[in-house]
Chain A
Amino acid sequence: MANKIEDLVEEQVVRWHGVEPPNAAGHDYAKGMAGLIASFEKLRGELQFEDEPSSFEAALQETKERAP
């Protein structure tokens, strides 16, 4: 497995999607994935196992503005 995140991104995207690295900016965006992983690491443990489905649309209704 690749050691650098940008190499890992390239391996995955080529293998899984058949999309080649397009340009140097793509390399920069791939490097940025390290920051995304770090952000998700900080959030670990916050997502709880839910026994019932939790719908975003239902939350919109529950929290909506009520007529005066």
Chain B
Amino acid sequence: MNAVDAPAAPLTHLTLVEAADGVSSGAFSAVELTDAAFKAFKASDRALNSVIALEEAEALEIAAALDKERNDGRLRGPLHGVPLAHKDMYYRAGKITTCGSEVRRDFRPTYTSTAIARLEAAGSVTLGTLNMAEFAQNPTGHNAHFGHCRNPWHTDYCPGGSSSGSGAAVAARFIYGALGSDTGGSIRMPASMCGVTGIKPTQTRVSRYGAMPLSFMADNVGPLARTARDCARLLKAIAGHDPADPTSAKEPVPDYEAALDGDIRGMRIGIPTNFFFDGADTDVVRAVDAAAEVLSSRGANVVRIAIPHMDAVSTYGAIISRVEGSTIHAQWMRTRPQDYSIALGARFYAGLSIPAAYYVEALSRRGPILRALGREVFDKADVFVTPTIRIKTPTLAATDIDAGAPGAIDAFNMLAANTRAINYMGLPAVSVPCGFDGDGLPIGFQVVGRPFAEGRILKIADAYQRDTDWHRRRPTLRGA
């Protein structure tokens, strides 16, 4: 029997769906869940530093109001009474939103992001804000201003970034789910390194209104949670067109959760023969191969497939967010350079030198490359599966650019290689835990689908999680 099924399991060990359904049925209250979450943060977060700010009194008050509504026979939605906390880049009217930065340490937006507004409208309780990379700009979890976030499986190691606190807090069982953001892998990398599930939706699937911008071409809003089913419930709540974000898609939002039946018979799962396994660690290759076997045993057809134009995708994908990020930060770089970390100031500085012609070339080929992918990949496979990250999770010390760690800049590029490529193509991808490396750190694989195939990739992820228990394993804090 696993820990989640055990009768004596603490409330914090439930999945998000179990927690929501328990409040709905009256098995426990929103106040009990919220109180348990705050106790968990207080007991263990000093070792992880996953939090920027908690709002205990206000959250408990909201939870009590939700309990009263439930007792009166009213449920706000499928997240009624579920405690969540979010990457500290989602604006809430009147609340400080630091974006993990010194520049915005005291920034109080005057409006609330659509994603948080929708989660709260569905009944969630917002507990506070979570640590993140400065302006969502590193894959490791370093933060010079609020302290580095740490991996719950071993605190010497990176939790992944930039949604570092989201990955760490969900993995540590402090909360049931969290918003992250993903411009080059910032949901999927912490999901992979921390051993949780995280989905980057199709570009434009979720409104970005009130989400700190990094790259208008590549930013995505999405959740991290313990299971694919949890992510399905969260994504359903936040997806869909938003008049406040005219770039958001008008595609209808299916009931992702209702479609999770475990039946993936006949689905064609592509395994790339190029790029995505280049230089991959043997532990990672072994874990992803084993994951493909699990999917095959469920009746999926695994096929080897070449992904076209990957040199172009890799090159172009590496510059779009750098150019956009450098550009939108240029004024602060001129007037407040001392308020940026060494690593981020350096990245933005060099990004300003990238020629406009390179940027336009990268944007111009995005559509044609996606069309080629449609013809050459998705006519042969319904999805393709890759390691989320090719290499084992590194330590914080080995990747600390501010401290002058040799090779750290190259490590940043290697960590994001597989995820950033997917952002360039605008595709949805979900990262799923699939094992552990020799150092005891989680490994993840990503399932990548056609545009707006969130339902299919979540269905595959859920099917995989029916036959495996990697997502149920809980860290015991080591190295604390």
Contacts and interface: CB of A to CB of B under 8 A. Distances in A.
* A and B associate in one complex: yes
Interface of A: 8-9, 12-13, 16-30, 32-33, 36, 39-40, 42-43, 46-47, 50, 54-65
Contact of A58 (B340, B367, B373, B449): B367
B110 interface: no
Given A27-B346, A42-B315, A43-B311, 8 more contacts: A12-B353, A19-B333, A28-B409, A40-B315, A59-B371, A60-B203, A60-B370, A65-B450
Interface string B342-374: 110111111111100010010111111011011
Contacts of A25: 342-343, 345-346, 401-402, 404, 409
A18 B330 CA distance: 9
Contacts, number: 137
A20 to B, nearest CB: 7
A47 B378 CA distance: 23
B426 A33 contact: no
A26 B453 contact: no
B263 to A, nearest CB: 12
Sort chain B's interface into a size bin. Answer: 35 or more
Contacts of A23: 342, 345-346
A25 B405 CA distance: 10
Contacts of A32: 350, 409
Interface string B321-343: 00000000010011001001011
Candidate in B251, B342, B451, B456 with the most chain A CB atoms within 10 angstroms: B451
Interface of B: 202-204, 249, 251, 311-312, 314-315, 318-319, 330, 333-334, 337, 340, 342-343, 345-354, 358, 361, 363-368, 370-371, 373-374, 378, 401-402, 404, 409, 426, 449-453, 455-456
B453 A65 contact: yes
Contacts of B450: 63-65
A57 B319 CA distance: 19
A28 B374 CA distance: 38
A23 B346 CA distance: 7
A56 B349 contact: no
B183 to A, nearest CB: 15
Given A13-B353, A36-B319, A47 B367 contact: no
A20 B374 contact: no
Contact of B452 (A17, A42, A64): A64
A23 to B, nearest CB: 5
A63 B318 CA distance: 23
A54 B50 CA distance: 42
Contacts of A33: 350, 353-354
Nearest to A17: B352
Contact of A55 (B348, B353, B367, B404): B367
A13 B366 contact: no
A28 to B, nearest CB: 6
Nearest to A67: B254
A59 B370 contact: yes
B446 to A, nearest CB: 17
Contacts of B368: 54, 59
A46 to B, nearest CB: 6
A53 to B, nearest CB: 9
B310 to A, nearest CB: 11
Contacts of A42: 311, 315
A17 B334 contact: yes
B367 A28 contact: no
A47 to B, nearest CB: 5
Contact of A22 (B318, B340, B409): B340
A19 B332 CA distance: 10
Contacts of A30: 349-350, 353
B369 to A, nearest CB: 8
A16 B409 CA distance: 25
Nearest to A58: B367
B269 to A, nearest CB: 15
13 contacts: A9-B350, A21-B349, A24-B404, A29-B409, A32-B350, A39-B314, A59-B371, A60-B204, A63-B370, A63-B373, A63-B378, A65-B450, A65-B455
B346 A29 contact: yes
